[in-house]
Amino acid sequence: MSAIEIEDLSISLGVGVHAKRILGGVNFSVEKGESFGLVGESGSGKSTVLRCVARLLNAWDGRIAINNKAVRDTPQDEYCRTVQMVFQDPYGSLHPRQSIQTALQEPLRIQRMDRHQERMEQALIEVGLTPAFLQRYPHELSGGQRQRVAIARALILDPSVLLLDEPTSALDVSVQAEVLNLLSELRARKGLTYLLVSHDLAVIDHMCDRLAVMQHGHIVEILDRAVLSTGRATDPYARELIRASVEYDQAV
Ligand SMILES: Nc1ncnc2c1ncn2[C@@H]1O[C@H](COP(=O)(O)OP(=O)(O)OP(=O)(O)O)[C@@H](O)[C@H]1O
């Protein structure tokens, strides 16, 4: 079953004479439990796709469905229990003046969930932290710990789909691999579906079952891992990606 279906997604952004078509008919689907990457040159529209799926942008045309249910027909609170996003910068979801306890409790309170303490402690343990972190503030954490808390917050409502916008690129190289491993483990353990944007070959290599190459608001090629290893791709960016990916594999 498809966890994410995107049909003919298009959007224009900007106002008046500055309005610009950013996505021009994007189509792909992601199977349940699959990790699907969006790659492409800067400005090709990768993050815009994620923002449409996350409902951070609403003025799009086309169809987005999660677990066979159209996004437009899904109430916001139900959507938040199914789809969550992890940003490049953990402060995308954490407020500097909110304790970790407040940050984790907020979604539980909004969704009128029970057993707050137990769920918050469990969420921290799942990302490799301890319940003692509830008393701290984001600025009292290392970059890696802060991103772990942001992941815990994304997972606290037990969603089935995570949108990952360059989840490790703002981290020190020494902790990037740890966070990547955590994300892979979580997907395997919880059967999560990932839609992720990355420029980082380590992330692509480590995380993606398939990836779509975007250019000027369109998908020009969809590759799976088997194709990546054979090097058969028609799009020049995809060929470049494969060449770099092979070099990366040889280097590690
Ligand atoms: N609200 C907005 N108003 C006008 N233009 C926008 C808006 N949001 C994004 N854009 C433009 O849409 C284009 C695609 O942006 P997007 O962030 O999706 O690209 P990207 O492929 O993720 O790039 P990068 O890899 O650099 O993050 C860019 O030209 C950007 O300036």
User: What's the CA-to-centroid distance between 8 and ligand 1, angstroms?
Assistant: 18
Q: What is the average pLDDT score of the chain?
A: 90
Tokens of 145: 């710990």
Ligand 1 atom closest to 18 (CA): 4
Write the CA distances from 151 to 60, 113, 222, 234, integer angstroms. 27, 19, 27, 36
**Given pLDDT bands bounded at 50, 70 and 90, which one contains residue 61?**
very high
User: Which pLDDT tens digit goes with each residue over 25-59?
Assistant: 999 999 999 999 998 888 999 999 999 999 999 99
- Protein residues with CB under 6 Å of any ligand 1 atom: 13-14, 20, 22, 40, 42-48
DSSP symbols for 77-105: HHHHHHEEEE-SSGGGT--TTS-HHHHHH
Residue type, 236: P
Whole-angstrom distance, CA of residue 70 vs CA of residue 108: 24
Q: Tell me, in angstroms, the distance from the centre of ligand 1 to residue 117's CA.
A: 39
The answer to whether the CB of 151 falls within 8 A of the CB of 123 is no
Q: What is the pLDDT of residues 104-130, one digit of tens each?
A: 999 999 988 889 999 999 999 999 999
Pairwise CA distance, residues 35 & 161, whole Å: 10
Nearest CA to ligand 1 atom 17: 47
**Cα 218 to ligand 1 centroid, rounded to whole Å:** 13
Counting ligand 1 atoms within 8 A of each CB, the residue from 11, 48, 215, 237 with the most, and so the one to mutate, is 48
The residue to mutate among 11, 13, 15, 218, having the most atoms of ligand 1 within 8 angstroms of its beta carbon, is 13
Q: What is the reported pTM?
A: 0.91
> For 72-92, what is the mean pLDDT?
92
Q: Which residue's CA lies nearest to atom 13 of ligand 1? A: 43
Please give the pLDDT value at position 252.
60
Q: Which residue has the higher pLDDT, 210 or 251?
A: 210
pLDDT in tens, 223-248: 886 666 666 666 777 777 776 666 66
What pLDDT is recorded for position 232?
64
The residue among 224 and 210 whose pLDDT is bigger is: 210
| Distance from residue 99's CA to the centre of ligand 1 (Å) | 32
Q: Which backbone phi and psi does 167 adopt, to 5 degrees?
A: -65, -15
Burial of 48 (0-12, 13-18, 19+ CB in 10 A): buried
- Taking the centre of ligand 1 as the mean of its atom positions, its distance from the CA of residue 230, in whole angstroms, is 32
**What is the ipTM, given to two decimal places?**
0.94
3-class secondary-structure state, position 232:
coil
CA-nearest residue, atom 12 of ligand 1:
22
Distance, CA 49 to ligand 1 centroid (Å)?
Answer: 10
Atom of ligand 1 nearest to the CA of 19: 4
CATH value of 2-250 in 3.40.50.150, 3.40.50.300, 3.60.15.10, 3.40.50.11540: 3.40.50.300
Share of the chain above pLDDT 70, in %: 91
Residue 151 half-sphere exposure toward CB, CA atoms < 13 A: 31
Q: Which ranges of the chain would DSSP assign to H, the alpha helix? A: 46-53, 76-82, 100-110, 116-126, 143-155, 173-190, 201-207, 225-230, 236-251
CA of 24 to the centre of ligand 1 (A): 13
What number is the average pLDDT over the span 64-68? 96
Sketch the domain layout of the chain as residue ranges. Answer: 2-250
- For the chain, what is the radius of gyration of the CA atoms? 18
pLDDT of residue 132: 96
166 CA closest ligand 1 atom index: 27
Which atom from ligand 1 is nearest to the alpha carbon of 40? 21
